[in-house]
């Protein structure tokens, strides 16, 4: 097992063998976990919730990192670099503004 996890360009047979059913399985389960957890989120916090999930979904950063950083043609890496920039912006501003808003919720 030495092939990279983020097998972007990995050999053809590997992609053919990817276990898409387990990916779908993961998707369905995490959606249900998400629904269960988010349903309990305080209604007071729906705005920070949105900025927090926004920062979390900037996990696209890991895909962008590979496309921007691997040894691909320049055009591809530029696309990846822009994607990386966009994801990073979301991570930074998303977490920071969430914290800024949450700080304001006081019981007195």
Minimum distance from residue 45 beta carbon to other proteins (Å): 5
Phi, psi of 83, rounded to the nearest 5 degrees: -60, -40
Residues 63-102 that bind other proteins (CB under 8 A): 63-73, 75-77, 79-102
Q: How many other β-carbons are positioned within 10 Å of the β-carbon of residue 56?
A: 13
Task: Report the site for other proteins in 26-65 (rule: CB under 8 A).
Answer: 26-27, 30-35, 37-65
**Shortest Å distance, C-beta 97 to other proteins:** 4
**What backbone phi and psi angles, to 5 degrees, belong to 3?**
-70, 145
Number of amino acids touching other proteins (CB under 8 A): 96
């Amino acid at each position: 097992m030495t092939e990279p996890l983020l097998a972007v360009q990995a050999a053809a047979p590997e992609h053919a063998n990817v276990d898409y059913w387990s990916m779908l399985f993961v998707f369905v389960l995490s959606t249900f976990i998400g629904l269960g957890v988010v349903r309990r989120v305080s209604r007071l916090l729906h705005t920070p919730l949105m900025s927090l999930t926004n920062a979390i979904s900037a996990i696209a950063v890991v895909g962008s990192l590979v496309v921007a950083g691997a040894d691909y043609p320049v055009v591809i890496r530029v696309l990846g670099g822009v994607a990386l920039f966009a994801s990073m912006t979301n991570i930074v501003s998303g977490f920071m503004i969430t914290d800024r808003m949450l700080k304001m919720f006081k019981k007195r």
